[in-house]
Amino acid sequence: MHIRKAQPAESDALSAIAYASKAHWGYTPAVLDSWRADLTVSADSIARHPTFACEVRGELSGFYQLILGEGECILEHLWVHPSFMGKGFGRSLLAHAVEHAARCGARQMMIDADPNAEPFYLACGAVRCGVIAAPIQGEPERIRPQLRISVAATI
């Protein structure tokens, strides 16, 4: 596994990973399509924000993107392709993101998590600091956990 800076020309490939990763949780095609804009990583966003890709034997397996702010950052994207899930790639990407955020002066990272991803983030040291109502068809009570992780935390 190798983590490296993502290139703007990889925007379509990274967007495909995000979409496949989200689809892994069994969301309907209609719900996934309603999130397509949020799952799309533009070449411009890759050029403007720290974005790092994970490769395994030359194949993209996942990526993350940070939005840096004053003293904190937002984990805008962290996705692992389903064929690479459960193998430590997400944990490695998150650890890299935390280290990068610390080098950029952030003290904490904010995460707007999919409910299915919350256990992963909690296991990596994040804490829940709120929720946002996020109903979808068939799940009117669905929420998105709002998480915070100290960039000084060891993952």
SS3 101: helix
CA dihedral 94, 76, 60, 33 (to 10 degrees): 130
Reading phi first (left if > 0) and then psi (alpha if -120 to 50, else beta), residue 125 is in left
Give tens-digit pLDDT for 100-155.
Answer: 999 999 999 999 999 999 999 999 999 999 999 999 988 999 999 999 999 875 45
Q: What is the CATH number of domain 2-110?
A: 3.40.630.30
| Maximum pairwise Cα distance, the chain | 42
Give tens-digit pLDDT for 1-52.
Answer: 999 999 999 999 999 999 999 999 999 999 999 999 999 999 999 999 999 9
Query: What does the domain layout of the chain look like in residue ranges?
Result: 2-110
